[in-house]
Amino acid sequence: MQTLDADLLKTFLAFVDSGSLAQAASIVGRSPSAVTAQMQRLEDIVGELLLVPQGRARVLTPAGEDLVGHARRILAVHREAWLALKGVRADGRVAIGTTQDFADSGLPDLLRAFAVSHPRVRIELRVGRSAELAQALQSGTLDLAIAMRRAPAPDEVGVLREPMMWLCSQKGLVSRQDEVPLALLDPHCGFREAAITALDAVGRRYRIAAGSASLAGLRTAVNAGIALTLRTARFAHSGIVEAPHDLGLPPVPIAEFAIRLRQDAEPPAQHLAALFSSNLALAGAPS
């Protein structure tokens, strides 16, 4: 009997959670052709077709749907075993910094798993903007940070890639005009810059209809239908959905987030960084 490889299952779940092989490739950091080869390899092991074409996309077969639950459980057991072995004698303190995106979606489940296996490690959590988190990491205030990536850094231990998307209220915009009404975080923000760059590239007029220093303020403005915004799928919940295609909004790039670890970090911080690198891309990602 052939065993189910964890890397193949991660790629399979990346497809399930993102809805396409191209986006799954971005999530797992592989080329689309490599992802396709992985899915073929998984089908060979299972002995069943897992994906079938439907129009230009691919969808799960009944066997693929059956595998989803098994895959999540197998990866959870892998994670728990690895953490249990690492956490037997660990103690101390880990100071983590993260953007709000991951504080809301992804981190809670992983921090819970870490706390179960590392009961004597004290967690200090700071939620903030990417620039201030990078500064805190450099000054030694943080051991570990998850922040938007502008360029490769020597302290990176992992990179998360998630498609950006235009988002708006489930109830729609209050009014539709030629100008695109935007809700954006205050400068300097990678999503703000990406939104403006994408609209400028196609000559689309826009106005900043709402500004905020926090994602909570941004969410309020978008939910009110005042404006739409640019984030990842992690922001799409509680009444916020992908903007309709008939708005004619331009394509946008992949968002990159770096998991960065202080060079002289203690073993518990190293364990947590490794946990994030292996699991954060799928943890909390909307299905």
Report phi then psi at 253, rounded to 5: -80, 180
Give the Cα separation of 7 and 135 in Å (integer).
33
Q: Which long-range contacts (CB under 8 A, 24 or more apart) does 60-64 make?
A: 60/16
Q: What are residue 277's DSSP bridge partners?
A: none
Amino acid at 47: G
**Can you give the pLDDT at residue 230?**
97
Name 228's Cβ contacts closer than 8 Å, sequence gap at least 6.
166, 167, 168, 173, 180, 181, 182, 183, 222, 243, 247, 249
- Tell me the pLDDT tens digit for each residue of 133-157: 999 999 999 999 999 998 888 999 9
190 membership: H or E segment, kind and range: helix 190-201
Share of the chain above pLDDT 70, in %: 96
The answer to whether 60 touches 45, Cβ cutoff 8 Å, is no
Domain boundaries, the chain: 6-83, 89-161+255-279, 165-252
**Can you give the pLDDT at residue 161?**
87
287: confidence class by pLDDT, cuts 50, 70, 90: very low
- Tell me the pLDDT tens digit for each residue of 186-224: 888 899 999 999 999 999 999 999 999 888 899 999 999
Out of 3.20.20.70, 3.90.920.10, 3.40.50.300, 1.10.10.10, select the CATH number for domain 6-83.
1.10.10.10
The answer to whether 213 touches 200, Cβ cutoff 8 Å, is no
CATH topology of domain 165-252: D-Maltodextrin-Binding Protein; domain 2 (3.40.190)
Beta strands (DSSP E) in 213-279 are 229-231, 240-242, 254-261
Dihedral through CA 146, CA 284, CA 44, CA 66, nearest 10?
A: 170
Q: Which two tokens stand for residue 107?
A: 């981190």
- Tell me the pLDDT tens digit for each residue of 25-83: 877 878 888 989 999 999 999 999 999 988 888 889 999 999 999 998 888 888 878 77
Query: CA neighbours within 13 Å on the CB side: how many for 216?
Result: 3
pTM above 0.85, yes or no: no
249: confidence class by pLDDT, cuts 50, 70, 90: very high
For 89-161+255-279, CATH gives 3.40.190.10
Q: Answer whether 89-161+255-279 and 165-252 agree in fold.
A: yes
